[in-house]
């Protein structure tokens, strides 16, 4: 089975700020109708974005949601984690 293509964003912050970040991203996801997978670990939060109803392909919706996530994370002081360190 091949992995599902997705846009992946990982950020670093305190555990509780990661939880808050998840809430803000979830609110935006509800607003725009596009929901990322969210994984919270100790001082890290990872968002996986793919368009499920397009056959798990990456679409413009995924890149738009990634931009929303970037803006929300920056507003909360979360630091992006480079892909190799995620």
Q: Is the pLDDT of residue 12 over 60?
A: yes
7 and 36 in contact (C-beta within 8 Å)? no
Q: Which range has the worst mean pLDDT, 1-10, 18-27, 44-53, 76-85?
A: 1-10
Report the alpha-carbon distance of residue 68 to residue 28 in Å, rounded: 8
Residues whose CB falls within 8 Å of the CB of residue 59, separated by 6 or more in sequence, listed in order = 51
Q: Is the pLDDT of residue 1 over 60?
A: no
The pLDDT assigned to 4 comes to 65
Degrees (nearest 5) of the Cα angle 71, 7, 30?
A: 55
The pLDDT assigned to 50 comes to 87
- For the segment 73-83, what is each residue's pLDDT rounded down to a tens digit? 999 999 999 88
13 and 81 in contact (C-beta within 8 Å)? no
The pLDDT assigned to 75 comes to 96
């Amino acid at each position: 089975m091949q992995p599902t293509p997705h846009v992946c964003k990982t950020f670093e912050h305190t555990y509780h700020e990661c939880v808050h970040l998840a809430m803000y991203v979830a609110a935006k996801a509800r607003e725009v109708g596009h929901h990322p997978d969210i994984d919270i670990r100790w001082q890290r939060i990872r968002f996986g974005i793919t368009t499920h109803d397009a056959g798990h392909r990456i679409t413009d919706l995924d890149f738009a949601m990634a931009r929303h996530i970037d803006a929300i994370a920056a507003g909360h002081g979360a630091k992006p984690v480079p892909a190799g360190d995620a």
